[in-house]
Structure 1
């Protein structure tokens, strides 16, 4: 049985607790938060121990993995402290808010020989997995371009729930917080980015960071991409999509969240094959919860002594893209990665 603990008992921690409860061979044994009241839900529902001091939690010998669910700006010092205690690390997205902090996390985990996984759970969506299989099978051919879109609503009340939301030092804006999952999918399907040019604005929300961003990218394979992300959409979430265009295929994954195949036209697949894929995804568009997949993969990575599916380097790539888009928007110039 792999023993887990959660640090940071805010909203996202509930997904982690549910994932640990549902995963095979796992047990949540403790939670940690500076505010005792924040842990009451977990102690009552799961009967776990509560700690206000991370150092005390890390003394628990049977503890194997610690999930970091704090505001993003706190990820690095916590991850380093956990790794130095020889515990494996699962960290919510983004891995950190700077590349320096990210490198420090990766270094600490390597030096202490512990596993590091970043929570980018959307890779495990059935539609996305079918898209990846098509790309791996070269069914789309030479890539032309891609479009990544996040058109969501986060109203002022959302940002006012906690003082760290929408700040540059602890949270970031729509790219860092909401769209980074979509950007991870863009990188996972299209490959590494060579150059970006971006514009950003804070139009409707009273926050420090951006609430709308647009950008164009050139990938190292020569293909192009368009990114659009906003939390300003009235009155609620409108869509999240990822469209891939190639010499022999056009595929769009979309919906309010990118869980549905909205278009699938691939030269090497007949109508029956396409129908099978689309019906399969339609029957179960959400599949196994992505957080549960991340948890189960960490358990298997420990058992098999391999890298998790979503590594620290993957988290760094997504963060690097966001930071490059920020730099371009700030300088009004193209930025090379």
Structure 2
């Protein structure tokens, strides 16, 4: 089998999740790593036995590289992806698809014009618990979904932001907790709920990290969907440890609970464990989810078979729009006028 040539741009925190998966894939080969800091690129190139570059634009002329993984800061996702797609390179980018709705809209246009594919990493949709939840909703085994909630209680230290100055800034991160850490949970809530979002109420606050960031570290929201489903959400980076994401879905004939990364069915007064997470082959942190490998392999399968990947620019923009909907709801609740706005429009 001829291997698909791959490159990874960005050798930061999430780099290893992509590189380890590529090294284990028979059908793909990591041929190039890129980072604006040469020492990082050189180090990872040595570990993975590939070439390195400082400028990602060298990829544009390389016929031996077909797929590019973007593991860069948020504000670089859309612009890099547009250039790569225009050159016919398939792009798999970490979330968010872009750092503002406007950048996402531009990228959707570029993706529609390109013959190459764009995929976005929302790996938690591939978790076994997520798949079982989705199957339960679609099959109506428990009747209609009535309401659901999600809670994320994580910790981020001042050093998390000071060591990577692009974080904690509207201009480069696009927000804080919502767009970085909890966007995965918000994506699951809207994916499970179905329908269009008709109403968003909520607020953002900076409870403990205000000395270090200009964005939020805590948020809550109430989301009403066109099909009558309501979702409640709470998230914070102000806890003192990282705990697994908690989900609850109330159906007409039962309740699904995700806690400690396990999925349970509560029905008729009895609680049954439905699944527990597999160990991550890529070394992923448990609270990230363990399905990077499944998503990456699925993206390559779609590329080889020339089939549209389902987590494309359009689908992945839904979570970003929800994030910015909560920002707007918080702004309106606080009585902030357009002229007072501190975050990007």
Give the structure-2-normalised TM-score: 0.88
Residue 74 of structure 2 corresponds to which residue in structure 1? 72
Using the TM superposition, give the Cα deviation of residue 287 of structure 1 relative to its aligned residue in structure 2, in angstroms. Answer: 8.1
Using the TM superposition, give the Cα deviation of residue 169 of structure 1 relative to its aligned residue in structure 2, in angstroms. Answer: 1.4
Q: Deviations over 1:194-247 (max 9, x none)?
A: 2101111111002110000011010121111111010001x2113411211111
Name which of 218, 226, 230 aligns with 1:220: 226
Using the TM superposition, give the Cα deviation of residue 283 of structure 1 relative to its aligned residue in structure 2, in angstroms. Answer: 7.1
**Partners of 1:325 and 1:64 in 2: CA distance:** 37
Name the SS for the 2:46 alignment partner: helix
Name the SS for the 2:178 alignment partner: helix
Using the TM superposition, give the Cα deviation of residue 143 of structure 1 relative to its aligned residue in structure 2, in angstroms. Answer: 2.0
Alignment of structure 1 residues 159-308 onto 2, 5 Å: 159-171=161-173, 172-191=175-194, 192-205=196-209, 206-233=212-239, 235-255=240-260, 259-261=261-263, 263-266=264-267, 275=272, 278=274, 281-282=275-276, 284=278, 289-308=290-309
Using the TM superposition, give the Cα deviation of residue 24 of structure 1 relative to its aligned residue in structure 2, in angstroms. Answer: 3.7
**Partners of 1:293 and 1:23 in 2: CA distance:** 11
Residue 318 of structure 2 corresponds to which residue in structure 1? 317
Name the CA shift for 1:218/1:333 in 2 (closer, same or farther; >3 Å).
farther
Residue 129 of structure 1 corresponds to which residue in structure 2? 131
- Point out the more displaced range, 312-321 or 184-193: 184-193
**Partners of 2:25 and 2:324 in 1: CA distance:** 34
**Partners of 1:283 and 1:156 in 2: CA distance:** 30
Residue 106 of structure 1 corresponds to which residue in structure 2? 108
Q: Is the 8 A contact 1:217 1:224 kept in 2?
A: yes
Name the SS for the 1:11 alignment partner: coil
Q: Deviations over 1:281-322 (max 9, x none)?
A: 237366884221122111111122212132222210000000
Using the TM superposition, give the Cα deviation of residue 124 of structure 1 relative to its aligned residue in structure 2, in angstroms. Answer: 1.2
Give the number of equivalent residue pairs.
322
Name the CA shift for 1:24/1:184 in 2 (closer, same or farther; >3 Å).
farther
Name the SS for the 1:170 alignment partner: helix
Residue 61 of structure 1 corresponds to which residue in structure 2? 63
Q: RMSD value over aligned CA atoms?
A: 2.0
Name which of 118, 121, 127 aligns with 2:120: 118
- Point out the more displaced range, 221-230 or 138-147: 138-147
Using the TM superposition, give the Cα deviation of residue 333 of structure 1 relative to its aligned residue in structure 2, in angstroms. Answer: 7.7
Name the CA shift for 1:285/1:137 in 2 (closer, same or farther; >3 Å).
farther
Using the TM superposition, give the Cα deviation of residue 266 of structure 1 relative to its aligned residue in structure 2, in angstroms. Answer: 4.8
